[in-house]
Amino acid sequence: MYKLKIFRNFFEFIVKKQMHADLLPFEAEEVVTALGETVALARRAREWTQSDLAAKMGTSVNTVVNIEKGRPSVGFGQVLNALWVLDLLDGLREALDPEKDPVIQRAAMERLKGRRRAPHG
């Protein structure tokens, strides 16, 4: 009975963890997949094996495989590390530029409009 309970809890943990990892919105899943494909292409263009990239990242080959497969369970820091090693961080920096977000820009403009001072006189 005790072994069955442990196995059941372990099974529930694995199923819940897998379900949680698969709950990305479709658009986010597309981005993770594209990111993995880009990492794989960049690695191959440099004629590196997955083992080479893993060594340069200081991680395991399994992590590289999971990044390249677009697995959402890979740690964000590991993904950033791969992008850094492959010299691909500039694209991410560009995408995250707050000046390119119209919502941030609109909020900043509203804040500036709200700070207008009364005319002197």
pLDDT digits (tens, 9 = 90+) for 90-119: 989 998 999 999 999 999 988 888 766 656
> Confidence class of residue 23 from pLDDT cuts 50, 70 and 90?
confident
Write down the pLDDT at residue 12.
Answer: 57
Mean pLDDT rounded to a whole number for the chain: 85
- Mean pLDDT value across residues 17-41: 84
Rounded to the nearest 10°, the torsion over CA 68, 74, 76, 78 is -70
Q: How far apart are CA 116 and CA 105, in angstroms?
A: 17
Q: Are 74 and 61 in contact (CB under 8 A)?
A: no
Q: pLDDT at residue 50 above 60?
A: yes
Of 3-7, 13-17, 79-83, which range is least confident? 13-17
Q: Are 64 and 54 in contact (CB under 8 A)?
A: yes
Q: Which of 5-19, 65-79, 103-117 has the highest mean predicted lDDT (pLDDT)?
A: 65-79
| Cα–Cα distance for residue pair 6/60, rounded to 1 Å | 29
